Amino acid sequence: MHSKLAIGTLVFMALTAQTLAADISSCPDVSAIKSSPYSDPSLGKFAGGFKYEAISNGKKWEGVTAGTDDDYLDPKYKLKAEGFNQANGKLTCIYGGATLVVGEPGEEAYSNPFLKLHAPE
């Protein structure tokens, strides 16, 4: 009985350590991310956007934004890693930055950068 408990504890600790090994520092630096125009006609009015790719820490990272003419790598957005998620063996980095206000007073619009990069395992 004690040996089963000990083995179970060791397995749990090994899995926990593996999960904790990845964190926001695993995310690609913004300078490593490259963007290119992206289009998916099946998205209708949200068809246009950008595809983002990076290679970092031996992994290929990728993500897309749809329904926007804004490339979030533009320095005005001050893009930075803000979060990290690991689920089902997949890593996801979440990036955000400066919210921009455009347009005339009373008719202004907001552009809020949001980008997820995934690294399939």
* Residue-level pLDDT at 90: 86
List the chain domain ranges: 24-119
pLDDT in tens, 11-61: 444 444 444 456 888 899 999 999 999 999 998 988 999 999 999 988 899
- Measure the CA–CA gap between 112 and 107, rounded to whole angstroms: 16
Instruction: Name the CA dihedral angle for 98, 49, 33, 53, rounded to a multiple of 10 degrees.
Output: 150
pTM of the entire predicted model: 0.76
What is the structure's pLDDT at 27?
Answer: 93
Query: Is 6's pLDDT higher than 60?
Result: no
Mean of the pLDDT values across residues 102-115?
89
pLDDT digits (tens, 9 = 90+) for 68-103: 989 999 999 999 999 999 888 788 999 999 999 988
Question: What residue type is 118 in one-letter code?
Answer: H
